Structure 1
Amino acid sequence: MSLAESRARQEGPARGRPRSEAVERAIIEGVLELLEDGVPLAEVSIERVARTAGVGKATIYRRWSGKEELFCDVLRAVEPPDPELPGTSLRDDLLALLESLRRRGLANRSSALLHNVQAQMKSQPRLWAAYHATVVEPRRRRTCEVLRRGVADGEIRDDIDIELVYDLFMGPMLLRTVLRPDAGLDEGLSEQIVDAVLEGLRPTL
């Protein structure tokens, strides 16, 4: 799915002037160019982005309400896309979600730019809150929906808090990605985590 299509799906029916994916791409590339040149995130203003991308400020504000929303889309553009869920079983859906998280972890490790930007975001509460609300939280809700379907289908117990189950699945991968950068994120890790957690969550006969 393209960036323009992703934004349109999130925002609902289009209003006003149609979006131009080429213009959006030029603006996002302008932000990345500034960051790659070593400009601190706090100094990447809308005016500076507009000059770099060769567009007017109004063109940017027609697409993004401000710097926070723009930066969230920049990070989305350089991350692996959210996975399509197979829908064949709880295990298959959880594997798809966790494997996507593993690939994001690898991307963070291989991209000094992405790692640096995310580190800088945490020192800017408004920007970090916007990223959490528009990127992190929707992914959490999606995973919790998958887990609730697993409860409804009898694949996992119904006597455990879904938020806790979410932490049990995502925690090990996030721990290795954020707190243990020396730990492996090898192929097969997602299967190991999902199977180990599911083993403890299956309904008792």
Structure 2
Amino acid sequence: MSLAERHTPPDGPARGRPRSEAVERAIIEGVMRLLEEGVPLAELSIERIARTAGVGKATIYRRWSGKEELFVDVVRAAEPPDPPLPGTSMRDDLVVLLERVRRRGLANRSSAILHSVQAQMKSSPKLWAAYHATVVAPRRRTGLEVLRRGQENGELRTDLDLELLNDIFVGPMLLRAVLSTDADLPGDLAEQVVDTLLEGLRPVSSEPRRTG
């Protein structure tokens, strides 16, 4: 979904969307430019952002309720996009989900903006809560849904706590990709994590049930 689609009312005129998206892109790029110049998040006022982006403050407030919501979109724009899930099996979907975390870790290391913003976010409870609600929580729900489908399809034992299991899958990748800035992130790391864990989590007696 584009930035314009997220902020444009559903019944708004379609012809206004390209222009709206261009304005939003200019605002987000304005924030990134200020961050590249070393301006801390705490010192980024809406007035300064508007001046840098060449728009009025009202233009920003029509699209974002405040700095926190805007900064979340800035971080999302700097991160690699979320890839679509293949839907062929629980195993394949889990590999894609963990690969997304690995790529985010690589982006953190290569993007000064992303690294700086994410470090500063943790010192702002309001901003961190907004990021968690709009980015982290939906990704967690996706992971839980993949595991739930795996149980329904017979790819996963039914006696497992899915909330805990989701943490067990994501935890090793988060440790390497986000918490340890110098840990090795080989291209097949997602497959290694998923396949190692699934060895002890699949039903013992049978092949996964086919659906459809």
TM exceeding 0.5: yes
Aligned counterpart, 2:94 = 94
Give the drift of 1:75. 0.6
Say if 2:172 and 2:193, in contact at 8 Å, map to a contact too.
yes
Q: Quick one: distance in 1 between partners of 2:179 and 2:82?
A: 23
Q: Quick one: distance in 1 between partners of 2:31 and 2:24?
A: 11
Q: Quick one: distance in 2 between partners of 1:179 and 1:85?
A: 25
Aligned counterpart, 2:29 = 29
Q: Quick one: distance in 2 between partners of 1:168 and 1:29?
A: 36
Amino acid in the other structure paired with 1:14 = P
Say if 1:68 and 1:130, in contact at 8 Å, map to a contact too.
yes
Give the drift of 1:107. 0.2
Unaligned runs of 5+ in 1: none
Amino acid in the other structure paired with 1:103 = R
Say if 1:3 and 1:77, in contact at 8 Å, map to a contact too.
no
3-state SS of 2:186 partner? coil
- Number of paired residues? 201
Amino acid in the other structure paired with 1:83 = P
3-state SS of 1:200 partner? coil
Aligned counterpart, 2:200 = 200
Amino acid in the other structure paired with 2:22 = A
TM-score (ref. length: structure 2): 0.90
Residues 29-178 of structure 1: pairs in structure 2 closer than 5 A: 29-178=29-178
Aligned counterpart, 1:189 = 189
The percent of aligned pairs where both chains have the same amino acid is 74
Give the drift of 1:124. 0.6
Q: Quick one: distance in 2 between partners of 1:14 and 1:32?
A: 28
Q: Quick one: distance in 1 between partners of 2:199 and 2:4?
A: 40
Larger gyration radius, structure 1 or structure 2? 2
Q: Quick one: distance in 1 between partners of 2:4 and 2:153?
A: 35
Q: Quick one: distance in 2 between partners of 1:53 and 1:101?
A: 31
Large movers: runs of 4+ above 4 Å: 15-19
Aligned counterpart, 2:208 = none
Aligned counterpart, 2:10 = 14
3-state SS of 2:63 partner? coil
Unaligned runs of 5+ in 2: 206-212
3-state SS of 2:31 partner? helix
Give the drift of 1:15. 4.8
Say if 1:90 and 1:150, in contact at 8 Å, map to a contact too.
yes
Give the drift of 1:16. 5.0
Q: Quick one: distance in 1 between partners of 2:4 and 2:203?
A: 43
Amino acid in the other structure paired with 1:43 = E
Give the drift of 1:179. 2.6
Say if 2:101 and 2:177, in contact at 8 Å, map to a contact too.
no
Amino acid in the other structure paired with 1:4 = A
Say if 1:64 and 1:70, in contact at 8 Å, map to a contact too.
yes
Amino acid in the other structure paired with 2:194 = V
TM-score (ref. length: structure 1): 0.93
Q: Quick one: distance in 2 between partners of 1:138 and 1:34?
A: 29
Deviations 1:128-159 (CA, angstroms, capped at 9, x unpaired): 10001001111000111111000111100111
